[in-house]
Chain A
Protein backbone atom coordinates (compact mmCIF):
# COMPACT_ATOMS: atom_id res chain seq x y z
CA UNK A 1 0.00 0.00 0.00
CA UNK A 2 2.57 2.57 1.05
CA UNK A 3 4.90 1.70 -1.81
CA UNK A 4 1.96 2.02 -4.19
CA UNK A 5 1.11 5.45 -2.79
CA UNK A 6 4.73 6.51 -2.96
CA UNK A 7 4.95 5.44 -6.56
CA UNK A 8 1.77 7.32 -7.43
CA UNK A 9 3.19 10.49 -5.87
CA UNK A 10 6.68 10.02 -7.26
CA UNK A 11 5.83 10.47 -10.92
CA UNK A 12 3.97 13.81 -10.53
CA UNK A 13 6.75 14.98 -8.22
CA UNK A 14 9.30 14.13 -10.90
CA UNK A 15 7.32 16.05 -13.50
CA UNK A 16 6.99 19.04 -11.19
CA UNK A 17 10.74 19.06 -10.56
CA UNK A 18 11.56 18.74 -14.25
CA UNK A 19 9.14 21.50 -15.25
CA UNK A 20 10.62 23.81 -12.60
CA UNK A 21 14.18 23.12 -13.79
CA UNK A 22 13.05 23.69 -17.36
CA UNK A 23 11.44 27.02 -16.50
CA UNK A 24 14.49 28.26 -14.60
CA UNK A 25 16.73 27.27 -17.50
CA UNK A 26 14.73 28.64 -20.37
CA UNK A 27 13.26 31.69 -18.65
CA UNK A 28 16.18 34.06 -19.42
CA UNK A 29 16.00 33.20 -23.12
CA UNK A 30 12.21 33.69 -23.26
CA UNK A 31 12.57 36.92 -21.32
CA UNK A 32 15.17 38.16 -23.81
CA UNK A 33 12.82 37.46 -26.72
CA UNK A 34 9.96 39.29 -24.99
CA UNK A 35 12.20 42.16 -23.88
CA UNK A 36 13.45 42.70 -27.41
CA UNK A 37 9.92 43.98 -28.10
CA UNK A 38 9.87 46.37 -25.12
CA UNK A 39 10.98 49.95 -24.63
CA UNK A 40 14.19 50.23 -22.59
CA UNK A 41 12.71 51.54 -19.34
CA UNK A 42 10.29 48.62 -19.30
CA UNK A 43 13.14 46.11 -19.76
CA UNK A 44 14.65 47.34 -16.50
CA UNK A 45 11.31 47.40 -14.73
CA UNK A 46 9.67 44.21 -15.80
CA UNK A 47 10.94 40.71 -15.02
CA UNK A 48 7.70 39.23 -16.44
CA UNK A 49 6.82 37.81 -19.82
CA UNK A 50 3.61 39.75 -20.54
CA UNK A 51 3.90 42.48 -23.14
CA UNK A 52 2.08 45.81 -22.86
CA UNK A 53 2.56 46.52 -26.53
CA UNK A 54 4.88 45.64 -29.36
CA UNK A 55 7.87 47.87 -29.90
CA UNK A 56 9.37 46.63 -33.15
CA UNK A 57 11.56 49.75 -33.45
CA UNK A 58 14.26 47.88 -31.50
CA UNK A 59 14.71 45.62 -34.50
CA UNK A 60 14.89 48.48 -37.01
CA UNK A 61 17.30 50.36 -34.75
CA UNK A 62 19.59 47.37 -34.18
CA UNK A 63 19.46 46.31 -37.82
CA UNK A 64 20.80 49.66 -39.02
CA UNK A 65 23.03 50.50 -36.05
CA UNK A 66 26.30 49.56 -37.77
CA UNK A 67 27.46 50.23 -41.30
CA UNK A 68 26.89 48.06 -43.26
CA UNK A 69 23.58 46.89 -41.83
CA UNK A 70 22.91 43.53 -40.21
CA UNK A 71 21.78 42.05 -43.53
CA UNK A 72 25.41 41.98 -44.70
CA UNK A 73 26.52 40.06 -41.61
CA UNK A 74 23.77 37.50 -42.07
CA UNK A 75 24.87 36.99 -45.68
CA UNK A 76 28.53 36.71 -44.60
CA UNK A 77 27.72 34.18 -41.89
CA UNK A 78 25.64 32.19 -44.37
CA UNK A 79 28.53 32.05 -46.86
CA UNK A 80 30.95 30.86 -44.18
CA UNK A 81 28.50 28.29 -42.85
CA UNK A 82 27.69 26.88 -46.30
CA UNK A 83 31.39 26.70 -47.19
CA UNK A 84 32.17 24.85 -43.97
CA UNK A 85 29.29 22.42 -44.42
CA UNK A 86 30.32 21.52 -47.98
CA UNK A 87 33.95 21.25 -46.89
CA UNK A 88 33.17 18.93 -43.98
CA UNK A 89 30.79 16.74 -45.97
CA UNK A 90 33.23 16.16 -48.82
CA UNK A 91 36.55 15.88 -47.00
CA UNK A 92 35.43 14.06 -43.85
CA UNK A 93 33.42 11.45 -45.74
CA UNK A 94 36.40 10.70 -48.00
CA UNK A 95 38.76 10.31 -45.05
CA UNK A 96 36.18 8.24 -43.18
CA UNK A 97 35.78 5.85 -46.13
CA UNK A 98 39.54 5.26 -46.16
CA UNK A 99 39.71 4.64 -42.41
CA UNK A 100 36.65 2.40 -42.34
CA UNK A 101 37.04 0.36 -45.50
CA UNK A 102 40.55 0.47 -47.00
CA UNK A 103 43.68 -1.45 -45.99
CA UNK A 104 46.80 0.65 -46.07
CA UNK A 105 50.19 0.88 -44.43
CA UNK A 106 50.24 2.44 -40.99
CA UNK A 107 46.46 2.66 -40.78
CA UNK A 108 46.37 2.24 -37.01
CA UNK A 109 48.92 5.04 -36.61
CA UNK A 110 47.11 7.47 -38.87
CA UNK A 111 43.83 6.67 -37.18
CA UNK A 112 45.40 7.34 -33.79
CA UNK A 113 46.77 10.68 -34.99
CA UNK A 114 43.34 11.58 -36.36
CA UNK A 115 41.71 10.82 -33.00
CA UNK A 116 44.40 12.86 -31.24
CA UNK A 117 43.63 15.93 -33.33
CA UNK A 118 40.04 15.91 -32.04
CA UNK A 119 41.43 16.96 -28.67
CA UNK A 120 43.78 19.62 -30.05
CA UNK A 121 42.74 23.08 -28.81
CA UNK A 122 42.43 25.66 -31.58
CA UNK A 123 44.45 28.09 -29.44
CA UNK A 124 47.56 25.95 -29.84
CA UNK A 125 47.56 26.23 -33.61
CA UNK A 126 46.00 29.64 -34.12
CA UNK A 127 49.20 31.72 -33.94
CA UNK A 128 51.22 29.94 -36.66
CA UNK A 129 48.03 29.45 -38.65
CA UNK A 130 47.42 33.19 -38.50
CA UNK A 131 51.02 33.87 -39.57
CA UNK A 132 50.57 31.51 -42.53
CA UNK A 133 47.23 32.93 -43.63
CA UNK A 134 48.30 36.54 -43.18
CA UNK A 135 51.40 35.91 -45.29
CA UNK A 136 49.36 34.60 -48.20
CA UNK A 137 46.97 37.53 -47.83
CA UNK A 138 43.94 35.62 -46.58
CA UNK A 139 43.13 37.83 -43.58
CA UNK A 140 39.78 39.53 -44.11
CA UNK A 141 38.62 36.82 -46.46
CA UNK A 142 36.50 33.79 -45.56
CA UNK A 143 39.21 31.41 -46.76
CA UNK A 144 40.94 30.86 -43.36
CA UNK A 145 37.56 29.78 -41.99
CA UNK A 146 36.48 27.56 -44.90
CA UNK A 147 39.65 26.01 -46.37
CA UNK A 148 40.58 24.06 -43.18
CA UNK A 149 37.17 22.37 -43.37
CA UNK A 150 37.90 21.31 -46.95
CA UNK A 151 40.96 19.55 -45.52
CA UNK A 152 39.07 17.38 -43.03
CA UNK A 153 40.46 19.15 -39.97
CA UNK A 154 37.21 18.64 -38.03
CA UNK A 155 38.34 15.17 -37.04
CA UNK A 156 35.28 14.77 -34.84
CA UNK A 157 33.17 14.29 -37.96
CA UNK A 158 35.67 11.90 -39.53
CA UNK A 159 35.33 9.77 -36.41
CA UNK A 160 31.53 10.02 -36.45
CA UNK A 161 31.40 8.88 -40.08
CA UNK A 162 33.94 6.07 -39.54
CA UNK A 163 31.70 4.72 -36.79
CA UNK A 164 28.71 4.91 -39.10
CA UNK A 165 30.38 3.23 -42.10
CA UNK A 166 31.66 0.40 -39.88
CA UNK A 167 28.03 -0.37 -39.12
CA UNK A 168 27.15 -0.86 -42.80
CA UNK A 169 27.25 -4.45 -44.09
CA UNK A 170 30.50 -5.22 -45.90
CA UNK A 171 28.72 -7.61 -48.27
CA UNK A 172 27.46 -4.59 -50.17
CA UNK A 173 30.93 -3.36 -51.11
CA UNK A 174 32.13 -6.89 -51.79
CA UNK A 175 29.25 -7.52 -54.17
CA UNK A 176 30.02 -4.26 -55.93
CA UNK A 177 33.71 -5.13 -56.12
CA UNK A 178 32.93 -8.48 -57.74
CA UNK A 179 30.83 -6.57 -60.27
CA UNK A 180 33.99 -4.64 -61.08
CA UNK A 181 33.41 -1.41 -59.15
CA UNK A 182 36.51 0.51 -58.03
CA UNK A 183 36.73 2.34 -54.71
CA UNK A 184 35.58 5.72 -56.05
CA UNK A 185 32.42 4.12 -57.36
CA UNK A 186 31.77 2.05 -54.26
CA UNK A 187 32.18 5.21 -52.22
CA UNK A 188 29.97 7.40 -54.39
CA UNK A 189 27.28 4.90 -55.37
CA UNK A 190 26.98 2.66 -52.33
CA UNK A 191 28.48 4.11 -49.16
CA UNK A 192 27.55 7.78 -49.55
CA UNK A 193 23.84 7.19 -50.21
CA UNK A 194 23.69 4.85 -47.21
CA UNK A 195 25.37 7.27 -44.83
CA UNK A 196 22.90 10.14 -45.16
CA UNK A 197 22.05 10.07 -41.43
CA UNK A 198 25.73 10.66 -40.59
CA UNK A 199 25.91 13.38 -43.24
CA UNK A 200 22.81 15.02 -41.78
CA UNK A 201 24.35 14.99 -38.28
CA UNK A 202 27.53 16.54 -39.68
CA UNK A 203 25.57 19.22 -41.52
CA UNK A 204 23.57 20.26 -38.52
CA UNK A 205 26.51 20.33 -36.09
CA UNK A 206 28.70 22.19 -38.56
CA UNK A 207 25.91 24.68 -39.06
CA UNK A 208 25.45 25.38 -35.36
CA UNK A 209 29.13 25.41 -34.38
CA UNK A 210 30.15 27.60 -37.30
CA UNK A 211 27.26 29.99 -36.80
CA UNK A 212 28.23 30.38 -33.13
CA UNK A 213 31.98 30.36 -33.61
CA UNK A 214 33.49 33.59 -32.40
CA UNK A 215 37.21 33.09 -31.82
CA UNK A 216 38.23 32.28 -35.41
CA UNK A 217 35.95 34.88 -36.95
CA UNK A 218 37.12 37.55 -34.51
CA UNK A 219 40.74 36.93 -35.42
CA UNK A 220 40.46 36.68 -39.20
CA UNK A 221 37.73 39.23 -39.93
CA UNK A 222 38.58 42.82 -38.97
CA UNK A 223 37.01 44.70 -41.89
CA UNK A 224 33.37 45.60 -41.07
CA UNK A 225 32.29 44.58 -44.59
CA UNK A 226 33.48 41.06 -43.85
CA UNK A 227 32.05 40.77 -40.31
CA UNK A 228 29.95 37.74 -39.53
CA UNK A 229 26.99 37.85 -37.15
CA UNK A 230 28.87 37.09 -33.88
CA UNK A 231 31.64 39.58 -34.60
CA UNK A 232 29.14 42.26 -35.63
CA UNK A 233 26.97 41.62 -32.60
CA UNK A 234 29.93 41.98 -30.29
CA UNK A 235 31.03 45.20 -31.99
CA UNK A 236 27.50 46.55 -31.71
CA UNK A 237 27.29 45.71 -28.01
CA UNK A 238 30.70 47.24 -27.41
CA UNK A 239 29.76 50.49 -29.14
CA UNK A 240 26.50 50.94 -27.23
CA UNK A 241 27.72 50.16 -23.71
CA UNK A 242 24.97 50.75 -21.16
CA UNK A 243 22.51 52.05 -23.74
CA UNK A 244 19.52 50.51 -25.51
CA UNK A 245 19.24 46.93 -24.29
CA UNK A 246 16.20 46.63 -26.53
CA UNK A 247 18.14 46.82 -29.78
CA UNK A 248 20.94 44.63 -28.41
CA UNK A 249 18.40 41.98 -27.46
CA UNK A 250 16.70 42.36 -30.83
CA UNK A 251 19.90 41.61 -32.73
CA UNK A 252 20.78 38.81 -30.30
CA UNK A 253 17.42 37.22 -31.06
CA UNK A 254 18.02 37.62 -34.80
CA UNK A 255 21.40 35.91 -34.39
CA UNK A 256 19.82 32.98 -32.55
CA UNK A 257 16.89 32.35 -34.92
CA UNK A 258 18.94 30.13 -37.29
CA UNK A 259 20.10 28.07 -34.29
CA UNK A 260 16.51 27.60 -33.11
CA UNK A 261 15.48 26.52 -36.61
CA UNK A 262 18.40 24.11 -36.94
CA UNK A 263 17.50 22.70 -33.54
CA UNK A 264 13.84 22.20 -34.47
CA UNK A 265 14.62 20.59 -37.82
CA UNK A 266 17.60 18.53 -36.78
CA UNK A 267 16.91 17.50 -33.18
CA UNK A 268 16.86 13.80 -33.97
CA UNK A 269 20.29 13.92 -35.62
CA UNK A 270 21.73 16.10 -32.88
CA UNK A 271 20.68 13.74 -30.12
CA UNK A 272 21.88 10.70 -32.05
CA UNK A 273 25.18 12.37 -32.92
CA UNK A 274 25.95 13.26 -29.31
CA UNK A 275 24.83 9.96 -27.89
CA UNK A 276 27.09 7.93 -30.18
CA UNK A 277 30.23 10.02 -30.14
CA UNK A 278 29.95 12.52 -27.31
CA UNK A 279 29.82 15.88 -29.05
CA UNK A 280 30.87 19.13 -27.41
Chain B
Protein backbone atom coordinates (compact mmCIF):
# COMPACT_ATOMS: atom_id res chain seq x y z
CA UNK B 1 0.00 0.00 0.00
CA UNK B 2 1.48 3.34 -0.99
CA UNK B 3 1.69 6.32 1.26
CA UNK B 4 -0.80 8.01 -1.00
CA UNK B 5 -3.30 5.20 -0.49
CA UNK B 6 -2.78 5.38 3.21
CA UNK B 7 -3.36 9.10 3.18
CA UNK B 8 -6.49 8.65 1.11
CA UNK B 9 -7.73 6.02 3.52
CA UNK B 10 -6.95 8.28 6.46
CA UNK B 11 -8.89 11.04 4.81
CA UNK B 12 -11.81 8.76 4.14
CA UNK B 13 -11.51 7.59 7.71
CA UNK B 14 -11.55 11.20 8.81
CA UNK B 15 -14.70 11.89 6.87
CA UNK B 16 -16.30 8.77 8.25
CA UNK B 17 -15.43 9.78 11.78
CA UNK B 18 -17.15 13.10 11.18
CA UNK B 19 -20.26 11.39 9.94
CA UNK B 20 -20.26 8.92 12.78
CA UNK B 21 -19.89 11.78 15.22
CA UNK B 22 -23.06 13.39 13.95
CA UNK B 23 -25.00 10.24 14.57
CA UNK B 24 -23.45 9.63 17.97
CA UNK B 25 -24.11 13.26 18.90
CA UNK B 26 -27.75 12.83 17.99
CA UNK B 27 -28.14 9.92 20.39
CA UNK B 28 -26.15 11.54 23.18
CA UNK B 29 -28.22 14.69 22.81
CA UNK B 30 -31.58 12.95 22.28
CA UNK B 31 -32.84 13.55 25.85
CA UNK B 32 -31.69 17.16 25.70
CA UNK B 33 -33.40 17.72 22.32
CA UNK B 34 -36.62 16.24 23.70
CA UNK B 35 -36.35 18.51 26.74
CA UNK B 36 -35.73 21.52 24.51
CA UNK B 37 -38.87 20.79 22.47
CA UNK B 38 -41.29 19.75 25.21
CA UNK B 39 -40.01 21.40 28.39
CA UNK B 40 -38.21 24.65 27.50
CA UNK B 41 -38.39 26.24 24.04
CA UNK B 42 -41.71 24.62 23.14
CA UNK B 43 -43.52 26.02 26.18
CA UNK B 44 -41.88 29.42 25.66
CA UNK B 45 -43.37 29.59 22.17
CA UNK B 46 -46.68 28.14 23.35
CA UNK B 47 -46.96 30.73 26.09
CA UNK B 48 -46.49 33.40 23.45
CA UNK B 49 -49.51 31.96 21.64
CA UNK B 50 -51.56 31.56 24.80
CA UNK B 51 -50.88 35.21 25.58
CA UNK B 52 -53.33 36.14 22.82
CA UNK B 53 -56.13 33.99 24.22
CA UNK B 54 -58.59 33.68 27.02
CA UNK B 55 -58.08 30.24 28.52
CA UNK B 56 -59.16 28.64 31.78
CA UNK B 57 -58.02 25.03 31.14
CA UNK B 58 -61.63 23.82 30.82
CA UNK B 59 -62.97 25.59 27.74
CA UNK B 60 -60.71 25.65 24.67
CA UNK B 61 -58.54 28.80 24.32
CA UNK B 62 -60.38 31.70 22.69
CA UNK B 63 -58.42 34.20 20.58
CA UNK B 64 -58.79 37.73 21.96
CA UNK B 65 -56.00 39.56 20.14
CA UNK B 66 -53.97 42.03 22.17
CA UNK B 67 -56.44 42.27 25.07
CA UNK B 68 -54.12 40.61 27.60
CA UNK B 69 -51.26 42.91 26.65
CA UNK B 70 -53.52 45.95 26.83
CA UNK B 71 -54.55 44.76 30.28
CA UNK B 72 -50.88 44.72 31.33
CA UNK B 73 -50.75 48.43 30.57
CA UNK B 74 -53.86 49.29 32.60
CA UNK B 75 -53.62 46.77 35.48
CA UNK B 76 -52.82 48.88 38.54
CA UNK B 77 -52.19 45.93 40.85
CA UNK B 78 -49.62 44.73 38.34
CA UNK B 79 -47.96 48.15 38.26
CA UNK B 80 -47.72 48.03 42.03
CA UNK B 81 -46.23 44.51 41.79
CA UNK B 82 -43.66 45.83 39.32
CA UNK B 83 -42.76 48.59 41.76
CA UNK B 84 -42.37 46.09 44.61
CA UNK B 85 -40.25 43.78 42.47
CA UNK B 86 -38.00 46.57 41.15
CA UNK B 87 -37.47 47.91 44.67
CA UNK B 88 -36.62 44.42 45.87
CA UNK B 89 -34.17 43.74 43.05
CA UNK B 90 -32.52 47.16 42.97
CA UNK B 91 -32.06 47.42 46.73
CA UNK B 92 -31.31 43.85 47.76
CA UNK B 93 -28.88 42.85 45.00
CA UNK B 94 -26.39 45.74 45.47
CA UNK B 95 -26.55 45.30 49.27
CA UNK B 96 -26.05 41.57 48.94
CA UNK B 97 -23.07 41.98 46.61
CA UNK B 98 -21.53 44.66 48.82
CA UNK B 99 -21.71 42.29 51.81
CA UNK B 100 -20.34 39.44 49.71
CA UNK B 101 -17.39 41.53 48.52
CA UNK B 102 -16.73 43.03 51.95
CA UNK B 103 -16.59 39.68 53.69
CA UNK B 104 -14.60 38.12 50.83
CA UNK B 105 -11.98 40.88 51.26
CA UNK B 106 -11.79 40.18 54.99
CA UNK B 107 -11.32 36.48 54.29
CA UNK B 108 -8.76 36.88 51.54
CA UNK B 109 -5.04 36.11 51.73
CA UNK B 110 -4.62 33.17 54.02
CA UNK B 111 -6.55 34.18 57.09
CA UNK B 112 -6.60 31.37 59.64
CA UNK B 113 -9.85 29.44 59.79
CA UNK B 114 -10.80 30.55 56.29
CA UNK B 115 -12.55 27.26 55.48
CA UNK B 116 -14.61 27.48 58.66
CA UNK B 117 -15.73 31.08 58.09
CA UNK B 118 -16.46 30.39 54.45
CA UNK B 119 -18.76 27.50 55.39
CA UNK B 120 -20.52 29.48 58.11
CA UNK B 121 -21.26 32.38 55.76
CA UNK B 122 -22.23 30.09 52.92
CA UNK B 123 -24.78 28.04 54.85
CA UNK B 124 -27.56 30.69 54.74
CA UNK B 125 -27.55 30.74 50.94
CA UNK B 126 -28.43 27.04 50.96
CA UNK B 127 -31.23 27.60 53.47
CA UNK B 128 -32.52 30.94 52.21
CA UNK B 129 -34.99 29.69 49.61
CA UNK B 130 -36.63 27.11 51.89
CA UNK B 131 -40.11 27.35 53.35
CA UNK B 132 -38.62 26.67 56.79
CA UNK B 133 -36.59 29.89 56.75
CA UNK B 134 -39.65 31.84 55.60
CA UNK B 135 -41.50 30.43 58.62
CA UNK B 136 -38.61 31.52 60.83
CA UNK B 137 -38.68 35.01 59.28
CA UNK B 138 -42.40 35.28 59.98
CA UNK B 139 -41.70 34.74 63.67
CA UNK B 140 -38.45 36.72 63.89
CA UNK B 141 -40.00 39.86 62.37
CA UNK B 142 -43.45 39.37 63.93
CA UNK B 143 -44.94 41.54 66.67
CA UNK B 144 -43.77 39.16 69.41
CA UNK B 145 -40.74 38.07 67.42
CA UNK B 146 -37.07 37.70 68.14
CA UNK B 147 -36.11 41.09 66.71
CA UNK B 148 -38.50 42.94 69.00
CA UNK B 149 -37.31 40.88 72.01
CA UNK B 150 -33.75 41.95 71.29
CA UNK B 151 -34.82 45.57 70.67
CA UNK B 152 -36.75 45.74 73.95
CA UNK B 153 -33.52 44.69 75.63
CA UNK B 154 -32.13 48.02 74.49
CA UNK B 155 -35.33 49.80 75.45
CA UNK B 156 -36.51 50.24 71.87
CA UNK B 157 -40.20 49.72 71.15
CA UNK B 158 -40.60 47.38 68.18
CA UNK B 159 -43.54 46.76 65.88
CA UNK B 160 -44.96 44.06 63.63
CA UNK B 161 -42.36 44.38 60.87
CA UNK B 162 -44.17 41.96 58.56
CA UNK B 163 -47.70 43.14 59.29
CA UNK B 164 -46.79 46.76 58.52
CA UNK B 165 -46.95 47.51 54.76
CA UNK B 166 -44.13 50.05 55.15
CA UNK B 167 -41.60 47.50 56.40
CA UNK B 168 -42.81 44.12 55.11
CA UNK B 169 -40.72 44.32 51.94
CA UNK B 170 -37.61 45.32 53.91
CA UNK B 171 -37.74 42.04 55.83
CA UNK B 172 -37.58 40.17 52.51
CA UNK B 173 -34.70 42.38 51.38
CA UNK B 174 -32.86 41.49 54.58
CA UNK B 175 -33.51 37.84 53.82
CA UNK B 176 -31.96 38.15 50.35
CA UNK B 177 -28.95 40.03 51.71
CA UNK B 178 -28.59 37.23 54.27
CA UNK B 179 -27.83 34.80 51.43
CA UNK B 180 -24.69 36.64 50.31
CA UNK B 181 -22.60 33.47 50.74
CA UNK B 182 -22.72 32.19 47.21
CA UNK B 183 -21.56 35.41 45.48
CA UNK B 184 -18.97 35.65 48.28
CA UNK B 185 -17.47 32.32 47.22
CA UNK B 186 -17.28 33.52 43.62
CA UNK B 187 -15.54 36.71 44.80
CA UNK B 188 -13.07 34.66 46.84
CA UNK B 189 -12.21 32.56 43.80
CA UNK B 190 -11.74 35.78 41.80
CA UNK B 191 -9.55 37.43 44.45
CA UNK B 192 -7.27 34.41 44.39
CA UNK B 193 -6.58 35.06 40.69
CA UNK B 194 -5.09 38.52 41.32
CA UNK B 195 -1.28 38.17 41.38
CA UNK B 196 0.24 39.13 44.76
CA UNK B 197 3.00 40.81 42.76
CA UNK B 198 0.69 43.75 41.92
CA UNK B 199 0.13 44.52 45.59
CA UNK B 200 3.82 44.17 46.40
CA UNK B 201 4.73 46.59 43.65
CA UNK B 202 2.06 49.05 44.79
CA UNK B 203 3.24 48.81 48.41
CA UNK B 204 6.81 49.58 47.35
CA UNK B 205 5.51 52.65 45.53
CA UNK B 206 3.82 53.67 48.79
CA UNK B 207 0.19 53.11 47.78
CA UNK B 208 -2.19 52.84 50.73
CA UNK B 209 -4.47 49.84 51.23
CA UNK B 210 -7.37 52.06 50.28
CA UNK B 211 -5.93 53.06 46.94
CA UNK B 212 -4.73 49.50 46.34
CA UNK B 213 -8.36 48.44 46.65
CA UNK B 214 -9.62 51.06 44.20
CA UNK B 215 -6.74 50.82 41.73
CA UNK B 216 -5.92 47.09 41.76
CA UNK B 217 -8.55 44.92 43.42
CA UNK B 218 -11.70 46.50 42.09
CA UNK B 219 -10.65 46.86 38.43
CA UNK B 220 -9.26 43.32 38.30
CA UNK B 221 -12.34 41.96 40.04
CA UNK B 222 -14.82 43.92 37.93
CA UNK B 223 -15.57 41.01 35.54
CA UNK B 224 -16.56 38.93 38.58
CA UNK B 225 -18.65 41.76 40.01
CA UNK B 226 -20.39 41.97 36.65
CA UNK B 227 -20.96 38.21 36.52
CA UNK B 228 -22.45 38.20 40.03
CA UNK B 229 -24.59 41.23 39.23
CA UNK B 230 -26.13 39.67 36.12
CA UNK B 231 -26.75 36.37 37.88
CA UNK B 232 -28.18 37.78 41.10
CA UNK B 233 -30.49 40.23 39.31
CA UNK B 234 -31.96 37.42 37.21
CA UNK B 235 -32.24 35.34 40.36
CA UNK B 236 -33.90 38.10 42.41
CA UNK B 237 -36.54 38.71 39.74
CA UNK B 238 -37.64 35.12 40.22
CA UNK B 239 -38.04 35.23 44.03
CA UNK B 240 -41.31 33.69 45.04
CA UNK B 241 -41.28 31.35 48.04
CA UNK B 242 -40.46 33.87 50.76
CA UNK B 243 -43.10 36.41 49.76
CA UNK B 244 -45.64 33.63 49.33
CA UNK B 245 -45.08 32.10 52.77
CA UNK B 246 -44.68 35.34 54.68
CA UNK B 247 -47.94 36.72 53.25
CA UNK B 248 -49.89 33.42 53.20
CA UNK B 249 -49.99 33.65 49.43
CA UNK B 250 -51.75 37.03 49.36
CA UNK B 251 -48.81 39.35 48.69
CA UNK B 252 -50.07 41.46 51.59
CA UNK B 253 -50.27 43.49 53.75
CA UNK B 254 -51.91 45.77 51.14
CA UNK B 255 -49.91 44.20 48.28
CA UNK B 256 -46.63 45.36 49.82
CA UNK B 257 -44.94 41.96 49.22
CA UNK B 258 -46.66 41.29 45.91
CA UNK B 259 -43.74 40.10 43.79
CA UNK B 260 -44.33 39.88 40.06
CA UNK B 261 -44.00 36.08 40.24
CA UNK B 262 -46.59 35.93 43.03
CA UNK B 263 -49.04 37.99 40.98
CA UNK B 264 -48.42 35.71 38.00
CA UNK B 265 -49.08 32.68 40.21
CA UNK B 266 -52.34 34.16 41.48
CA UNK B 267 -53.58 34.93 37.97
CA UNK B 268 -52.58 31.55 36.56
CA UNK B 269 -53.06 29.08 39.36
CA UNK B 270 -55.62 30.63 41.72
CA UNK B 271 -57.86 32.29 39.13
CA UNK B 272 -56.86 29.97 36.26
CA UNK B 273 -56.61 32.90 33.88
CA UNK B 274 -53.96 31.10 31.82
CA UNK B 275 -54.07 33.55 28.92
CA UNK B 276 -53.25 36.57 31.06
CA UNK B 277 -50.67 34.58 33.06
CA UNK B 278 -48.92 33.68 29.77
CA UNK B 279 -48.85 37.30 28.71
CA UNK B 280 -47.44 38.18 32.14
CA UNK B 281 -44.79 35.47 31.78
CA UNK B 282 -43.66 36.90 28.46
CA UNK B 283 -43.60 40.38 29.86
CA UNK B 284 -41.39 39.12 32.71
CA UNK B 285 -39.05 37.53 30.19
CA UNK B 286 -38.80 40.86 28.35
CA UNK B 287 -38.10 42.75 31.58
CA UNK B 288 -35.35 40.35 32.62
CA UNK B 289 -33.89 40.41 29.10
CA UNK B 290 -33.95 44.23 29.15
CA UNK B 291 -32.18 44.36 32.52
CA UNK B 292 -29.56 41.89 31.31
CA UNK B 293 -29.05 43.86 28.09
CA UNK B 294 -28.65 47.13 30.03
CA UNK B 295 -26.14 45.38 32.26
CA UNK B 296 -24.10 44.20 29.29
CA UNK B 297 -24.25 47.63 27.70
CA UNK B 298 -23.19 49.40 30.89
CA UNK B 299 -20.39 46.87 31.38
CA UNK B 300 -18.45 48.59 28.58
CA UNK B 301 -17.97 51.57 30.87
CA UNK B 302 -16.88 49.91 34.08
CA UNK B 303 -15.82 46.32 33.53
CA UNK B 304 -12.10 45.97 32.96
CA UNK B 305 -10.70 43.00 31.04
CA UNK B 306 -7.01 42.41 31.64
CA UNK B 307 -6.08 40.82 28.31
Q: Decide: A95 and B32 in contact? CB cutoff 8 A.
A: yes
Residue of A nearest to B26 (CB): A104
Given A110-B29, A234-B245, A237-B245, verify A125-B43 contact (CB < 8 Å): yes
Residue of B nearest to A22 (CB): B120
A43 to B32 Cα, complex, angstroms = 50
Interface string of A204-217 (1 = CB under 8 A from B): 00001001101100
Q: How many residue-residue contacts, CB under 8 A, span A and B?
A: 250
- Shortest CB-to-CB span from A91 to chain B, Å, is 4
Interface membership of A74, Cβ < 8 A: no
Interface membership of A68, Cβ < 8 A: no
Q: Decide: A22 and B121 in contact? CB cutoff 8 A.
A: yes
Q: Decide: A125 and B47 in contact? CB cutoff 8 A.
A: yes
Given A98-B25, A230-B131, verify A31-B39 contact (CB < 8 Å): no
Pick the interface stretch among B2-10, B89-97, B133-141, B194-202.
Answer: B133-141
- Shortest CB-to-CB span from B283 to chain A, Å, is 10
Residue of A nearest to B230 (CB): A119
Number of A interface residues, CB 8 Å? Answer: 91
Cross-chain contact of B121 among A25, A47, A95, A153 (Cβ < 8 A): A25
Interface membership of A112, Cβ < 8 A: no
Which residues from chain B contact A237 at a C-beta distance below 8 Å? 131, 135, 138, 245
Which residues from chain A contact B245 at a C-beta distance below 8 Å? 234, 237
Cross-chain contact of A275 among B18, B20, B189 (Cβ < 8 A): B189
Q: Decide: A102 and B25 in contact? CB cutoff 8 A.
A: yes
A152 to B40 Cα, complex, angstroms = 10
Give B229-250 interface residues, CB cut-off 8 Å to A.
231, 234-235, 237-238, 240-241, 244-245, 248-249
Q: Decide: A104 and B21 in contact? CB cutoff 8 A.
A: yes
Q: Decide: B292 and A44 in contact? CB cutoff 8 A.
A: no
Interface string of A241-280 (1 = CB under 8 A from B): 1000100110111011001000100010011001110111
- Shortest CB-to-CB span from B78 to chain A, Å, is 14
Which range contains the number of B residues in contact with the other chain?
35 or more
Pick the interface stretch among B69-77, B178-186, B212-220, B297-305.
Answer: B178-186
Interface string of A123-136 (1 = CB under 8 A from B): 11111111110100
Residue of A nearest to B30 (CB): A94
Interface string of A118-159 (1 = CB under 8 A from B): 011111111111111010000000000000101111000010
Residue of B nearest to A264 (CB): B119
- Shortest CB-to-CB span from B194 to chain A, Å, is 15
Pick the interface stretch among A10-18, A50-58, A192-200.
Answer: A10-18
Residues of B within 8 A of A (CB): 18, 20-22, 24-26, 28-29, 31-32, 34-36, 38-44, 46-47, 50, 55, 57, 103, 106-107, 111-113, 117-124, 126-127, 129-133, 135-136, 138-140, 144, 146, 149-150, 153, 178, 182, 185-186, 188-189, 227-228, 231, 234-235, 237-238, 240-241, 244-245, 248-249, 261, 264-265, 268-269, 274, 277-278, 281-282, 284-285, 288, 292
List of 9 A-B pairs having minimum Cβ-Cβ separation, nearest first:
A151-B35, A252-B132, A104-B25, A128-B46, A275-B189, A98-B28, A125-B43, A128-B43, A47-B149
